[in-house]
Amino acid sequence: MLTGYELERYDRQIMIRGFGEEGQEKLKQARIFIAGAGGLGAPVSVYLTAAGAGAIRVVDHEKVELSNLNRQVLHWSEDIARSKVDSAAEKLTRLNHEVKIEAIEEVIAEANVSQLVAGFDLIIDAMDNLPTRYLLNKAALEMNIPLFHGAVYGFEGRAMTIIPAQTACLMCIYKGVIIEGKFPVVGVTTAVIGCIQAAEAIKYIVGIGELLTNRLLIYDGLNMKFTELKVKKDPNCEHCSHLVKKDKK
Ligand SMILES: [Zn+2]
């Protein structure tokens, strides 16, 4: 049951057709794993916290650097050299103390990824590198947890939602192509893409709307165009081709 405080706090979204108190109740029960407390992690975690998610675990191993501040808006000038997850957890808790925020300062690696995401209902890919995205993709598929992908470059970004065993996965579309190193990016791009990921997560939890599945959304901020690539599950995909469609428990 929602409290009077919650009914008032979330009043404007409860009003949305198909959302209602039931949708808010679902959000309150949702456990969300966010991989990355950087440019994408900031808007995703802010909006999921503001929307009243039940629990959020944020994992990142980096410290805040001066050159992060143009886009990683959860971290402020005074946070330089501080752990990103501590900085994020403090701000998110201040934003909404009802949400259980857990900060884990660790590198997401093959050895710990399954353990880190175990027990979570959704995984948000707010990473900046393809090797870690692949680890999350594989873990999400194996553990039957939906994955919400987002990526940015300069004024461009992309997003896609992956439902294990049902839709195309990251490996189906990227085929192992890896671009390494420092890349350009402006904060408005991470904000746009992070908000799309958060919107997808909320829709999935509440159970409304059409998800961004089997569609890679491409955002071109310079020309202000959104385009969509239809993508298909690759029958030979090394990550998902062996999975059999089953209903989520
Ligand atoms: Zn696949």
Q: pLDDT by residue (tens digit) across 95-133? A: 999 999 999 999 999 999 999 999 999 999 999 999 999
94-127 burial code (b ≥16 CB/10 A, e <16): ebbebbebebbeeebeeeebeebbeebbbbbbbb
DSSP at 68: G
Given a contact cutoff of 8 angstroms between Cβ atoms, the answer to whether 86 and 95 are in contact is: no
Q: Distance between CA 84 and CA 60 in Å, rounded?
A: 7
Given a contact cutoff of 8 angstroms between Cβ atoms, the answer to whether 154 and 185 are in contact is: yes
**How close is the Cα of 101 to the center of ligand 1, in Å?**
31
Spans in the chain with pLDDT lower than 50: 248-249
**How close is the Cα of 135 to the center of ligand 1, in Å?**
13
User: Which class for 187: exposed (0-12), middle (13-18), buried (19 or more C-beta within 10 A)?
Assistant: middle
CATH fold for domain 4-230:
Rossmann fold (3.40.50)
**How close is the Cα of 119 to the center of ligand 1, in Å?**
22
Q: Distance between CA 234 and CA 237 in Å, rounded?
A: 5
**How close is the Cα of 33 to the center of ligand 1, in Å?**
21
Angle between helix 20-29 and helix 187-206 axes, rounded to 10 deg: 110
pLDDT attached to residue 124: 98
pLDDT attached to residue 247: 53
Which residues have CB atoms below 5 A from the ion given as ligand 1? Answer: 169, 171-172, 237, 239-240
pLDDT attached to residue 175: 73
Dmax of the chain from CA atoms? Answer: 51
**How close is the Cα of 108 to the center of ligand 1, in Å?**
20
Query: Which tokens hold the place of 152?
Result: 């940015």
**How close is the Cα of 144 to the center of ligand 1, in Å?**
13
Angle in degrees, CA 166, 212, 60, rounded to 5: 90
